[in-house]
Amino acid sequence: MELVQKIKQYKILKNILYILLGSTLLIVSAKIKLPFYPVPMTMQTFVVLFLGVLLGPKLAATTILFYLFEGILGLPVFSNSPEKGIGLVYFTGPTMGYLIGFIFASYFAGYVNTKDSYFKICIKLILSVSIIYLLGLLWLGTLIGWEKPIFSLGAKPFLLAEMFKILLLGIICKYLIKLRRII
């Protein structure tokens, strides 16, 4: 009985560590901007999907929820949040739909498996990142008005960068899934 209890405690501590490390990786990916055309890109959506593939659906979604909670509390974790952070005010701004989409995208990406072909992996990753954009555009349209060119503002400038990230992640997915089994 004691052994079972210790194993459960170990698993809980291990998962807390993964959540903290995953959140930290997401924060770093949000702050580093890479030159890309037509707009600079962060590697944030890459890391969201990466966490899904590496940690699996539930732990990845929990990691994203923790990250969002940090931001809502006012920590400067989001891409353009000021150093002191502004919490819920920033969270409920134009990017809220995208941020909420992170939860579902990481969860869905967690279902990529080693039996999938490269093509199927890329399709699953495209569908995962599409969830981010769908929820992001729905929120953006609600917030700024549907008469504005929502797709041109909130998705089109980022699509080339997203395809690059998906192709890159697709290449390493099977290795990440094997690593998931070890950790």
User: What's the mean pLDDT in 93-122?
Assistant: 95
User: What's the mean pLDDT in 88-98?
Assistant: 92
Model confidence at 39, pLDDT cuts 50, 70, 90, reads low
Give the pLDDT score at 38.
62
As a whole number of angstroms, the distance between CA 176 and CA 47 comes to 12
pLDDT of 170 > 90? The answer is yes
Region of poorest pLDDT, from 101-110, 138-147, 172-181: 172-181
Count CB atoms within 10 A of the CB of residue 88. Answer: 12
Q: Are 105 and 49 contacting, i.e. CB atoms less than 8 angstroms apart?
A: yes
Region of poorest pLDDT, from 6-15, 24-33, 57-66: 6-15
For the chain, how many residues are written?
A: 183
Q: Are 132 and 95 contacting, i.e. CB atoms less than 8 angstroms apart?
A: no
What is the chain's mean pLDDT, rounded?
Answer: 92
Which CATH number belongs to the domain containing residue 85 in this structure?
1.10.1760.20
Give the pLDDT score at 53.
96
Split into its structural domains, the chain has a count of: 1
Q: Are 103 and 61 contacting, i.e. CB atoms less than 8 angstroms apart?
A: yes
As a whole number of angstroms, the distance between CA 34 and CA 146 comes to 30
Give the domain extent around 19: 2-182
Query: pTM here?
Result: 0.92
Q: Is 85 left (phi over 0), alpha (psi -120 to 50) or beta?
A: left
Q: Are 102 and 30 contacting, i.e. CB atoms less than 8 angstroms apart?
A: no
